[in-house]
Amino acid sequence: MGASAETLTGKPAPGGKGQVRTFFRRLRNGDEIAHIFTLVFALTILLLACLLVYELYAHSAVSRHKFGWSFLLSRSWDPVLERFGALPFIYGTIVTSVIALLIAVPLGVGGAIFLAEFAPTKMSDGLTFIVELLAAVPSVIFGLLGIFIIIPIMRESVDPFLQSHFGWLPLFQGPVYGVGFLTAGVVLSIMIVPFILSISREVLLAVPAEQREAALALGATRWESTWQAVVPYARVGILGSIFLALARALGETMAVTMVIGGTPSISSSLFAPGYSIASVIADQFTEATGQAYLQSLIELGLALFVLTIILNGLARLLILATTKRGTAH
Amino acid sequence: MEDEALGKPPQARSAKIQVSHLDFYYGSVQALYNVSLAVPQNQITALIGPSGCGKSTFLRTLNRMSETVRHTSVEGEILLDGENIFSVDLVALRRRVGMVFQRPNPFPKTVFDNVAYGLRVNGGTRGAALADAVEASLRRAALWDEIKDKLHKSAYALSGGQQQRLCIARALAVNPEVLLLDEPCSALDPISTAKIEELMFTLQENCTLVIVTHSMQQAARVSSHTGFFLLGRLLEFNETNILFKRPGRKETEDYITGRFG
Ligand SMILES: Nc1ncnc2c1ncn2[C@@H]1O[C@H](COP(=O)(O)OP(=O)(O)OP(=O)(O)O)[C@@H](O)[C@H]1O
Ligand SMILES: [Mg+2]
């Protein structure tokens, strides 16, 4: 690029040889080296992504031909009869992720606002350090936390409470097992709160002081300046942190596998055990016998990939829609 | 002490703001030393001085914006219409004493919502009354004709000069009695600067203005009184034409003639 631009604007190069020489002269400047390196890195990542999709696609051929589109809509998962459908897993993945977001977004964003705007600096830095440590804990540890702490609490306190107060909602009916969608969502929420909190805090701290002061100078209270000036200014970054957290929740495998119950069923009750795409793949991949079974699991992987892309796309659309009118970015 | 003379400029009309013996500290670092001055009502007062001498700090004490910086403390007295600003309600004070900042800082909202913000946050104004008030503020800021078709576009789509006048319109919307401007033209081209200076002239009819500026010419052009700050002290305060023609102190003369290091 750079070399040819040079020959375009500078003296016309006498054929390819001059171009090559220009190229090598620029190579020594480092510009071209940086150009090539970054290009190679970017292409590698692109290539890896394409390869990944291709592998998933190619190795799910049997399953795709056998079930077609009905794979996505079928609710049966029967290794004996070799009938496979993805719906319970898609359902479980989405439901647990939504529960996780419903809990983690208010906690994470609210905590970030407190730490960035109201807490004393030392306390804010200290708490953030601890929260960021949480993000580094391996997910299997969260799974153990789920099994030994969250499940008993859910079974003995939270679920019965919800049942007795909100039992008129189909969401909170039916038998309580401890494991299930709700518990998996809660464990997931604990895992993703650190992402939302620490990124949102950074974004809020980066808001120029003049934004807050502009609101204060107009007679806004401290809270009004925070909520109406600082947070909207940081909106795009906060949404970004939420999408990152969502991506993490959708793909989380280990911790979810340990607490979701491992039952491919679709139930309106959040107390019911279920399954998610990532956890069924991890659970059953080693024991999958027969091409249809194995390739159905691979097709599930493809479905998860597509689901993540769709949700990311929607998220981007949401950002575009909310930032069209009047935004800093 | 010489600040007895400083406190009362010659032929001052009634003082809108009376500052007496103001000390200001960032933590343990003192930024203002014993500043006393009377801001005359319905006039433009300019504050000049080299960088870091405390002009912004002083300006920001006048609407207590300085309190947003942690670990600061202030001693002395500031009277607004004879009333101590440290004992009145903060929100009410800031509604009466508006502020325009060095760099244009519109909210990431539409032009209309920017101007409407102060009215909405203070409650009350809605619907047609709100639209009228927004239009009136934009007209006062001499911006209406330029942007009346862009009311519902992002404020960031305006030029820098328009954004700064938008910020002035936003401040004017709540009808402040005093408007503090901290180097409002430092990021603007000469034409936008001229527009804002013109605007300040018309505003002084029903508003008292205090402007910090690095431009001697600007201070000379727009203000009736000028204060010269040096190292946290108000060295001289006088009518602008006197201060610029016959400065009372060597330091002032050095600064305004550009001999200041
Ligand atoms: N937030 C702060 N924390 C600590 N010290 C500060 C802070 N803001 C200003 N100061 C100090 O107070 C002194 C006065 O600063 P101030 O901003 O009032 O100067 P200024 O006259 O407005 O300068 P300029 O013309 O460059 O804007 C400076 O020495 C500065 O270092
Ligand atoms: Mg300043």
- pLDDT per residue as tens digits for the range A100-152: 999 999 999 999 999 998 888 889 999 999 988 988 899 999 999 999 999 99
**CATH assignment at residue B102:** 3.40.50.300
Q: What is the pLDDT of residues B138-172, one digit of tens each?
A: 988 888 888 888 888 888 988 888 898 899 999 99
What does the block give as tokens for A138?
């391996």
Residue B115: name the closest of B140, B90, B91, B97 by CA: B140
Residue B48 is assigned to a structural domain of this protein: yes
What gap in Å lies between CA A259 and CA A27, rounded to an integer? Answer: 56
Name the closest residue on chain B to residue A234, using Cα atoms.
B108
Residue B222 is assigned to a structural domain of this protein: yes
Interchain CB contact of B8 with A (< 8 Å): no
Mutate to test the interface with A, among B63, B94, B179 (most CBs of A within 10 A): B94
- Contact residues on chain A for B170, CB-CB shorter than 8 A: 214, 218
Residue B217 is assigned to a structural domain of this protein: yes
Exposure string over A291-317, b if 16+ CB within 10 A, otherwise e: ebbbbbbbbbbbbbbebbeebeeebee
Residue B57 is assigned to a structural domain of this protein: yes
Q: What is the pLDDT of residues A264-300, one digit of tens each?
A: 888 888 888 989 999 999 888 888 888 888 888 999 9
- Contact residues on chain B for A326, CB-CB shorter than 8 A: 107-110, 113, 153-156
Q: How far is B157 from chain A (nearest CA, A)?
A: 8
Residue B68 is assigned to a structural domain of this protein: yes
B144 lines ligand 1 (CB under 6 A): no
> What's the pLDDT score for residue A195?
92
Identify whether the C-beta of residue B165 lies closer than 8 Å to the C-beta of residue B142.
yes
| Structure ipTM | 0.86
Q: Which domain holds residue B201?
A: 3-106+176-256
> What's the pLDDT score for residue B261?
47
Identify whether the C-beta of residue B31 lies closer than 8 Å to the C-beta of residue B196.
no
Q: What is the pLDDT of residues A1-60, one digit of tens each?
A: 344 444 444 444 445 667 777 777 766 677 778 888 889 999 999 999 899 999 999 988
What gap in Å lies between CA B193 and CA B210, rounded to an integer? Answer: 16
Is the CB of A213 less than 8 angstroms away from the CB of B154?
A: no
> What's the pLDDT score for residue A115?
93
A positions 154-173 inside 8 Å of B (CB): none
What gap in Å lies between CA A258 and CA A143, rounded to an integer? Answer: 6
Q: What is the pLDDT of residues A167-205, one digit of tens each?
A: 888 888 888 888 899 999 999 999 999 999 999 999 999
> What's the pLDDT score for residue A213?
93
What does the block give as tokens for B58?
């002083």
Q: What is the pTM of this model?
A: 0.81
Residue B191 is assigned to a structural domain of this protein: yes
B57: amino acid identity, one letter = T
Q: What is the pLDDT of residues A213-260, one digit of tens each?
A: 999 999 899 999 999 999 999 988 898 899 889 989 998 888 988 899
Exposure string over B197-230, b if 16+ CB within 10 A, otherwise e: bebbeebbeebbbbbbbebbebbbbbbbbbbbbb
Residue B74 is assigned to a structural domain of this protein: yes
Question: Is the alpha carbon torsion for B86, B91, B96, B98 positive or negative?
Answer: positive
What gap in Å lies between CA B251 and CA B256, rounded to an integer? Answer: 9
Give distance in angstroms: CA of B213 to centre of ligand 1.
Answer: 14
Tell me: pLDDT of B4 over 60.
no
3-state secondary structure B77-100: EEEECCEECCCCCHHHHHHHEEEE
Give distance in angstroms: CA of B56 to centre of ligand 1.
Answer: 7
Closest ligand by atom to B30 CA: 1
- Contact residues on chain A for B152, CB-CB shorter than 8 A: 325
Q: What is the pLDDT of residues B27-57, one digit of tens each?
A: 999 999 999 999 999 999 999 999 999 999 9
Number of domains present in the structure of chain B: 1
Give distance in angstroms: CA of A153 to centre of ligand 2.
Answer: 56
Query: Edge-to-edge strand order for the sheet containing B208-212?
Result: B97-100, B178-182, B208-212, B44-48, B225-230, B233-239
H/E run at residue A185: helix A181-205
Identify whether the C-beta of residue B67 lies closer than 8 Å to the C-beta of residue B57.
no
Name the closest residue on chain A to residue B109, using Cα atoms.
A326
Residue B152 is assigned to a structural domain of this protein: no
